[in-house]
Chain A
């Protein structure tokens, strides 16, 4: 469970999130909102990449302010642009990066690498240079790099925005199949129909928080 209590966030003088309180306990949670409404900033609060200017964020009772490292171990983060989170030149090296940071043994790393690449049908790309992968493969690699660290939560910031329709579907299917709790910021509303909860952001505040059947039409209406 992630508890957000009276959280505000400012970049310098500019407040971009205002007094937000939420308890996130559903398995599938989506965050929607216009450009600049604060979705990415909110997502970054959840694993302590950003700390609130006021209020607290707690993940399973751990405050992101005092337990940053433990929180990041629990909460994996997938960015919009996979190119910016694949940090090693070769597929298997990149997968190993997070696991080495957690002190996994060589054998464990090799086994988990095989397992995740098999899951996403990319085993033959094990020694492939990362920059030669397709957009969809890059995003799957980015997600894999997070999953091999065994997080309990996966936060994704617009993971499908840069992809074509086919790869959007592929990534969506991969996300839908995750065992973890998923919190996703997205502009692809049609992918969110099965979600447990949709939270609508507007100018740094929450204007709707409901099941998709209600929250999405509300948001669409507000946008038009």
Chain B
């Protein structure tokens, strides 16, 4: 989910982000309104066919699904238990189609282009005092620093493991929090240094 963009030159890469995000929204709505299993299967196959069109491999498609496998299994089991296997298959396939469709958009669209489009689309909130550019920056920062935070948490966990403290929530959470606050200070200095005007 984090290495969102996969560089390429396919028609889907070249399509501007606005239409892609619109199709995603319409497609997602349609998938939810549709109640037929065959159509859901068709939609899933259709989305999968678009992966090669976007110069993406089916392996990449699988990588989008794999981290969510246990959620799929849980949904499937619950639905099967309550409503039968046909509905369980329908629910899980619909979810898979949805995730693959959304990933297709994020894999073929630079996050900066996506954020720019979102910033533009959020323009209507300006009269309410929302600054869309700030929302855009916030999203970029989140995308940028999630891996950094994950790395910090990993380092702290390893350090505490050496002291036998890796099971203590506090012993891990405190150093992570302190390093994060210190980091946030530097980041805001860096943003200011680089000429950002809020």
A contacts, CB < 8 Å to B? 44, 47, 49, 69, 72-73, 76-77, 79, 81, 83-90, 93, 96-98, 101-102, 127, 129-132, 145-146, 149
- A97 contact set on B, CB distance < 8 A: 194, 196
Given contacts A79-B186, A132-B3, 4 further A-B contacts (CB under 8 A): A72-B193, A85-B187, A89-B143, A93-B140
Say whether B140 contacts A79, CB under 8 Å: no
Q: Which B residues from 1 to 21 make CB contacts under 8 A with A? A: 2-5, 7
Can you sample 16 A-B contacts with CB below 8 Å? A69-B195, A73-B195, A79-B190, A83-B183, A84-B186, A85-B194, A87-B140, A87-B191, A88-B112, A89-B111, A93-B111, A93-B112, A97-B194, A101-B195, A102-B195, A127-B110
- In the assembled complex, the CB of B69 is this many whole angstroms from the nearest CB of chain A, namely 24
Q: Which B residues from 77 to 121 make CB contacts under 8 A with A? A: 110-112
- B147 contact set on A, CB distance < 8 A: 129, 131
Say whether A149 contacts B195, CB under 8 Å: yes
Question: Given A130-B144, A131-B148, are A81 and B186 neighbors across the interface (CB < 8 Å)?
Answer: yes
B contacts, CB < 8 Å to A? 2-5, 7, 110-112, 140-141, 143-144, 147-148, 151, 183, 186-187, 189-197
Question: Within the assembled complex, what's the spacing in Å between the Cα atoms of A81 and B151?
Answer: 14
Question: Within the assembled complex, what's the spacing in Å between the Cα atoms of A149 and B195?
Answer: 9
Contact of B189 among A44, A89, A98, A132 (CB under 8 A): A44
Contact of A146 among B110, B151, B194, B196 (CB under 8 A): B194
**A-B pair number, CB within 8 angstroms:** 83
Say whether A101 contacts B194, CB under 8 Å: yes
- In the assembled complex, the CB of A36 is this many whole angstroms from the nearest CB of chain B, namely 15
Question: Within the assembled complex, what's the spacing in Å between the Cα atoms of A81 and B143?
Answer: 18
- B2 contact set on A, CB distance < 8 A: 129
- In the assembled complex, the CB of B21 is this many whole angstroms from the nearest CB of chain A, namely 18
Among B141, B187, B192, B193, the one with the most A-chain Cβ atoms within 10 Å of its Cβ is: B193
- A85 contact set on B, CB distance < 8 A: 186-187, 190, 193-194
Say whether B110 contacts A90, CB under 8 Å: yes
Question: Chain B interface mostly helix, strand, loop or mixed?
Answer: helix
Question: Within the assembled complex, what's the spacing in Å between the Cα atoms of A47 and B190?
Answer: 11
Say whether B192 contacts A72, CB under 8 Å: yes
- In the assembled complex, the CB of B110 is this many whole angstroms from the nearest CB of chain A, namely 7
Question: Within the assembled complex, what's the spacing in Å between the Cα atoms of A69 and B183?
Answer: 23
- A81 contact set on B, CB distance < 8 A: 183, 186
Residue of B nearest to A155 (CB): B193
Contact of A88 among B144, B192, B195 (CB under 8 A): B144
- B144 contact set on A, CB distance < 8 A: 86-89, 130-131
Say whether A77 contacts B197, CB under 8 Å: no
- In the assembled complex, the CB of B178 is this many whole angstroms from the nearest CB of chain A, namely 14
Say whether A90 contacts B191, CB under 8 Å: no
- A83 contact set on B, CB distance < 8 A: 148, 183
Say whether B140 contacts A89, CB under 8 Å: yes
Contact of A84 among B4, B5, B183 (CB under 8 A): B183
Closest 7 CB pairs of A and B: A85-B190, A101-B195, A84-B186, A98-B194, A131-B147, A77-B193, A93-B112
- In the assembled complex, the CB of B109 is this many whole angstroms from the nearest CB of chain A, namely 12
Residue of A nearest to B3 (CB): A129
